[in-house]
Amino acid sequence: MSVIVKKLVFIITLFLSFFRLCEAKILELWISSFQDQIYYEKMADLFAKKSKGFELEVKAYGFREMPDKLGVALRTGEGIPDMVQLDETFFGVFLTGPSPFLDLTDLAKKSKLDKTLHPRRLEVFTYQKQLLGLPQSLSAMMLYYRKDLFEEFGIKPEELQTWEDMSIIGEELQASRGQRLLALDGTLFDVLLRQKGSDLFDEKGEFLPDEKVAIDVLQEFAEMSQAQIAVMPDRGSIFDPVFFSGDLETGEVLCVAGADWYGLDLFQQFAPSMEGLWGMMPLPTWRGEDGKLGPRTATFAGQGLMICKATSEKDLAWKFLEFVMKNKESNAERFLQGNSFPAYLPAWKNKVLLHKHPYFKQSMGNLLVELADEIPPVVVDPRRPQAIFLMQENYFGSVMFGALSPQEAISQYRDAMKQSWGNR
């Protein structure tokens, strides 16, 4: 082959390679869960079979790290991804100005996702009548309990319908055996508010719209804490790996409240040797004036998928998100990988999601389906992330340990929010 022909072949090959590179549509997705990276890469491979030339680069960051990196990218206008996975706890951080996320309202209606995703979860990613994200998980709370120790102490799950029941039985356990019943931390505060019909904000933006309910919640659990019925972990968090290897494995406490992902992920990751020892039941609640039980669940955290306005591939990004949300294998995969129970209602017919879970020897899916209609709403507000973390880090523990009274904590809580946000 002559030198001229060789050069010609080289040029043509180079041109074809460049053409293929230009033809391929490479999208970038930032996620806030290292565990999810393999999952999204697999979903991208499945989607690419239907959309030729589609490629996805998945960048996984930590739960708190990803929102920080996204904030920097949005402020500088450099390196903004096409899509992001964002936890609802941080969602409000990006609502203080014009939304950086695409309004998905019309797209969701066209695809019927507005009817097939759980309405309470859609609300979590809706602000000023714009649907800005698609919820991936139900994130419904339940009570995880030690089945073996409940049997040993003669406690039946159905006896713990209300928080008052928890207090009464916990007092008996403490008096007769010195046994603590419940572990908790500050992340439970707004869950309890919503169980009691209130929230951190109301629709008009008022912070702690029912102050009496907020004080009553803190007072009730402070009394349980002082009686050693409900206790906080040594390092203040029920998400700490040391809490699992310490308080839970040693039987220091018999119950802990957590969302679906808490059991699917953290229990299996940090306490694998306790397989079969933990059961699941509805979250205790309060009775209304009519004597009926209030909601036996609420939600905490949970991820959603958003499309950044800066992307040049809005249509393709939407098609990928729609595929991920609707695909039967996709919904089952996240559950089986120990991530979460899906918010996509048609997926609940999948028997894989309803089988007995191998770790709990009980069907998590059946319990969640039973509780799903009881989920109370969440009022979305740009100040919600700060309100959650302020209570968790500064006030809840102070009340539980007796350093502040509930009234003092709520007063300081209000002042701290006012200093940050003025009179809003």
CA gap 268, 248 in Å, rounded: 13
Is 211 a residue whose pLDDT tops 90? yes
The Cβ of residue 130 has, within 10 Å, a number of other Cβ atoms equal to 15
- Least confident range of 2-6, 144-148, 198-202: 2-6
What pLDDT sits at residue 50? 83
The encoded tokens of residue 43 equal: 């979903």
What pLDDT sits at residue 139? 96
- Least confident range of 18-22, 320-324, 340-344, 406-410: 18-22
The Cβ of residue 178 has, within 10 Å, a number of other Cβ atoms equal to 8
- Same domain? For 355 and 221 the reply is no
Last residue of a domain, one of 336, 357, 374: 374
- Same domain? For 114 and 253 the reply is no
- Same domain? For 246 and 389 the reply is yes
CA gap 2, 9 in Å, rounded: 11
Whether 84 maps to a domain, the answer reads: yes
- Same domain? For 199 and 251 the reply is yes
Is 9 a residue whose pLDDT tops 80? no
- Same domain? For 288 and 228 the reply is yes
Per-residue confidence band for 2, with pLDDT thresholds at 50, 70 and 90: low
Total number of domains constituting the chain: 2
- Span 189-214, mean pLDDT? 96
- Same domain? For 169 and 262 the reply is yes
Instruction: Give the C-alpha distances (Å, rounded to integers) separating 412 from 226, 391, 399, 405.
Output: 21, 10, 12, 11
Per-residue confidence band for 12, with pLDDT thresholds at 50, 70 and 90: very low
DSSP per-residue letters across 191-233: HHHHHTT--SB-TT--BSS-HHHHHHHHHHHHHHHHTTSEE--
- Same domain? For 305 and 408 the reply is no
- Same domain? For 31 and 76 the reply is yes
Task: Output the pTM of the full model.
Answer: 0.90
Average pLDDT, the chain: 91
- Span 379-385, mean pLDDT? 95
Is 422 a residue whose pLDDT tops 80? no
What pLDDT sits at residue 408? 98
Q: What is the CATH number of the domain that holds 335?
A: 3.40.190.10
- Same domain? For 284 and 412 the reply is yes
What pLDDT sits at residue 424? 54
CA dihedral 143, 148, 149, 152 (to 10 degrees): 140
Whether 9 maps to a domain, the answer reads: no
In tens, the pLDDT along 194-206 reads 999 999 999 999 9
In tens, the pLDDT along 261-298 reads 999 999 999 999 999 999 999 999 999 889 899 999 99
What whole-number percentage of the chain has pLDDT above 70? Answer: 94
- Same domain? For 93 and 66 the reply is yes
Whether 6 maps to a domain, the answer reads: no
- Same domain? For 162 and 197 the reply is yes
Which structural domain, as residue segments, surrounds residue 259? 141-298+383-421
Is 59 a residue whose pLDDT tops 90? yes
Whether 14 maps to a domain, the answer reads: no
- Same domain? For 307 and 356 the reply is yes
- Least confident range of 50-54, 55-59, 230-234, 269-273: 50-54
Whether 2 maps to a domain, the answer reads: no
Whether 8 maps to a domain, the answer reads: no
Last residue of a domain, one of 337, 356, 374: 374
What whole-number percentage of the chain has pLDDT above 90? Answer: 80
Whether 150 maps to a domain, the answer reads: yes
Is 17 a residue whose pLDDT tops 60? no
In tens, the pLDDT along 33-47 reads 777 888 899 899 989
Whether 171 maps to a domain, the answer reads: yes
